[in-house]
Structure 1
Amino acid sequence: MDHDIIIYIIAGFIAQIIDGALGMAYGVSASSLLMGFGVPPAVVSSTVHAAECFTTGASAISHHAFGNISRDLFRRLLIPGIIGAAIGAYVLSSFDGEVIKPYIAGYLLLMGVVIIIKAFKRFPPREVTTKLTPLALFGAFMDAVGGGGWGPIVATNLIVRGNSVRETVGSVNAVEFFVTMSASITFFFTLGLDHWQVIAGLAAGGVIAAPFGAFLTKRLPHRPMMITVGILVIFMSARTLLKALGYWHWF
C-alpha cells in the first residue's frame, strides 16, 4: 500500500473520532492534519469536503444504531440544510467566504464560553423546536461557502439553547451527510473533482472511526461532554480569528 494513503487514512480516522463524538471539527481536524503532513492547501480544501460524503454517511448510520438521533430534530433540519448547502456551493465562485468567517468565529467563541458555563449549572434539557429552519439554512450555507461550519454553528446553537447534547450531536451529524452531499454534488458540477487517492484515504479512515465516535457520544457523561464541546468551539473559533488577523501560522 502506498505510504501516502496510510497518512490520509490516519488523518480521516482521527478527524472522524473527534467529529463523531462531539458533532463538529471534522474539516478543521482533517485539514490541519493533512497540511501538517505536507499536503498542499488547495488539495486539502477540495478533498476534505468530498471525503465527508462517505464519513458523514457512516457517522449517520452509527448514531442511528446507538439511538443518538431525534427524528423530529433530524426532519426539521434536513430540507433547509440541503437547500442552504446547495446555495452556498453555487455562490462560492463569486463570494469570498473568508470575509465573513472572522465574524462567525467571534459569535462561536462566545457560544463556547456559554456552553462551559452551562456545564457547571443545572439546567434540565429541553427540546428546541423554534428557529430551526433559518439555523439550518445559515449553518449549511456557511459550511459550503466557508469550508466548514455546519457542526459548530448548528450544534453549538442547539446546545446553548438547552437541547440534549447526545441528541444534538447525533441528529446534527446525521443531517450533515445530506448537507455534504448537496454541497459536493453542486461543487462537482461547477468546479470538478480530483485527487481521488486523498479522498479514498480520508473516507476509509473516517468510515472505520464512525462507530467509535457514535459510541463515545452515547457513553460520555453530560458535563464532561459539554465542557469538551465548549473547549473545542473556543479553540476552533480563536484559531479562525487569529488566522484572519495574521497571528496564527501553525496549521
Structure 2
Amino acid sequence: MRTLVLLALVGLGAQLVDGSLGMAYGVTSTTLLLAIGTNPAAASATIHLAEIGTTLASGAAHWRFGNVDWAVVRRIGVPGAIGAFAGATFLSSLATDVAAPVMSLLLLGLGLYVLARFTVAGLPTGRLGLPLRKRFLAPLGLVAGFVDATGGGGWGPVGTPALLASGRIEPRKVVGSIDTSEFLVAIAASLGFLVSLGSQGIDLLWVAALLLGGLVAAPVAAWLVRLLPPRILGSAVGGVIVLTNVRTLLRSDWVDASSAVQGVVLGFVAVVWAAAVVWSVRAHRRAVASQPAAGTASDPSPAPEPATAPR
C-alpha cells in the first residue's frame, strides 16, 4: 500500500512538472521504477500505459486553456508514434548506453541556448508566428518518439527545447502541443511493448496509481502554464533541460563522475538555474511596471489572454 501511495504522489508531481514545463513525467517515473528493481522494458511499458490516461487528460486541459497548436500536434505526433512503436519493439535487443550520452550532449546544448536566450532577452519574436515545417517536425517526432520508448522518457526533453529554440511558437503552446501529441506516442509505445513483451512484468496496480496522480495534476498544470509569463517559463524549462542532461552525462561511461563531484556540479547548475529564473522574474516585473498593457522590447511577452473556451 505504501508503494502505491508513493507511486500516486510521484505521478502527481511528475505530471505537474510535465504539464507546466513540457517534460519530466517519463524521466521522473522511470527513475523511481528502476530504483526499486523494475526491468527497464517493463518500467517503460508501465509508464507508457499510465501516460495514455495522463496525456489524454493533459491534452484536454491544455486545449481548454488554448495552449495547443493542432498543426504542430499532427505533424509531430504521427511521426512520434511511429518512432515510439519502433523503439518499444526493439528495446529488448537495443543497447542505448552509448546513444544516451550523445543525445544528452545535444540536448544540453539546446538547453543552454534556451536558458540563455530567454533569461537574457526574453521571448524571441523575430520568427514568432512563422509556420513550423514538416521537414523539421517529422524527423524531430521520429527521434523523440524512439528515445521516449527506449529510455522510458524523452518526448518532452527532445521535443520541447527544439520547438522553443525555433522561436516560432509561444512557450505555452510549445508545452501544450508537446503534451497533447504525447497521447499518440504513449498509445504507440504501449502497443509496441504489448506486442513484444505481452503483460510480463507490468503491474496494473502501479499503472493505476501513477495514472491517478497524473489525472489530479493535469488540469492544474495546464492552468499554471497559461499564467506563467513566457520569459519566466522559458528560463524554467531551459534549467530543467540543462540540469537533467548534465546529470545524465556525469553518470555516463564517458565521465563516470564520483558522487561527490556529481553533487558539486549539480548543485552549481541548480544555483545558476535559480539565479536565471530570479533574473527573469525581475525583468518581467520591470517590464510590466513600465508598460503594463503591452510589455517592452526587453521583455516582449504578450499580456495574458483571458481564458476562453476553444472554438
Normalised TM-score (structure 1): 0.92
Describe the SS at the equivalent of 2:121: coil
1:76 is aligned to 2:65: no
Contact 2:148 2:154 (8 Å CA) reproduced? yes
Residue 209 (structure 1) aligns with? 217
| Contact 1:112/1:234 (<8 A) preserved | yes
Q: 1:180-219 maps to which residues of 2 (within 5 A)?
A: 180-193=186-199, 194-219=202-227
Q: Which entry has the higher C-alpha Rg, 1 or 2? A: 2
Secondary structure, in 3 states, of the residue corresponding to 2:36? coil
> Secondary structure of 1:97's match?
coil
User: For 1:160, which of 156, 160, 165 is the aligned residue?
Assistant: 165
How many residue pairs were aligned? 247
Cα separation, partners in 2 of 1:248 and 1:59, compared to 1, 3 Å: farther
Question: What are the Cα deviations for residues 38-65 of structure 1, in whole angstroms up to 9, with x where unaligned?
Answer: 6324264442222112111111111111
Find the partner of 2:246 among 227, 232, 238.
238
AA aligned opposite 2:87: G
Q: Which residue of 1 is the match for residue 112 of structure 2?
A: 113
User: 2:151 pairs with 143, 146, 149, which one?
Assistant: 146
Distance 1:191 1:239 in 2: 30
2:55 equivalent to 1:56: yes
The answer to whether residue 173 in structure 2 is matched with residue 170 in structure 1 is: no
Structure-2 separation of matches of 1:47 and 1:17: 19
Deviations along 1:135-177, one digit per CA (max 9) or x if unpaired, are 1111111111222211111111010110211111101100001
Structure 1 residue 183 displacement after superposition: 0.6
Does structure 2 conserve the Cα–Cα contact (< 8 Å) formed by 1:80 and 1:133?
Answer: yes
Residue segments in structure 1 that go unaligned for 5+ positions in a row: none
Cα 1:33/1:187, change in 2 over 3 Å: closer
Query: Structure 2 vs 1, CA of residues 3 and 178 (structure 1 numbering), >3 Å: closer, same or farther?
Result: same
Note closer, same or farther for the CA distance 1:165–1:228 as it changes in structure 2 (3 Å cut): same
Q: Distance in 1 between matches of 2:151 and 2:32?
A: 18
Change in 2 beyond 3 A, CA 1:41/1:93 = closer
Is the contact made by 1:239 and 1:248 (CA closer than 8 Å) also made in structure 2? no
Determine what percentage of the aligned residue pairs are the same residue: 36
Q: Matched residue of 1:94: which SS?
A: coil
1:115-134 aligned at under 5 Å gives the runs 115-119=114-118, 120-122=120-122, 123-124=124-125, 125-130=128-133, 131-134=136-139
Partner of 1:69: helix, strand, or coil? coil
Question: TM (normalized to structure 2)?
Answer: 0.75
Question: Matches of 2:19 and 2:224 in 1, distance apart?
Answer: 8
Change (3 A) 1:14 1:200: same
Question: 1:40 — aligned with what?
Answer: 37
Match of 2:2 in 1: 3
Amino acid at match of 2:239: I
Please state which structure has a larger fraction of its residues in helix. 1
Deviation string, structure 1 residues 192-221 (Cα, Å, up to 9, x no partner)? 232111111001000111001111111111
Matches of 1:25 and 1:32 in 2, distance apart?
10
Q: State which of 236, 247, 250 in structure 1 corresponds to 2:257.
A: 247
Is contact 1:83-1:137 (8 Å) kept? yes
Structure having greater relative contact order (Cα 8 Å, sep ≥ 6)? 1
Whole-angstrom CA distance in 2 between matches of 1:248 and 1:121 = 36
* Contact map agreement 1:128 1:158 (CA 8 A) in 2: no
Q: Does residue 1:179 correspond to 2:176, yes or no?
A: no
Give ranges in structure 2 of 5+ residues lacking alignment.
263-311
Cα separation, partners in 2 of 1:9 and 1:29, compared to 1, 3 Å? same
Moved more, 179-188 or 114-123: 114-123
- Contact in 2 for aligned 1:127/1:164 (Cα 8 Å): no
Q: Segments of 4+ in structure 1 off by > 4 A? A: none
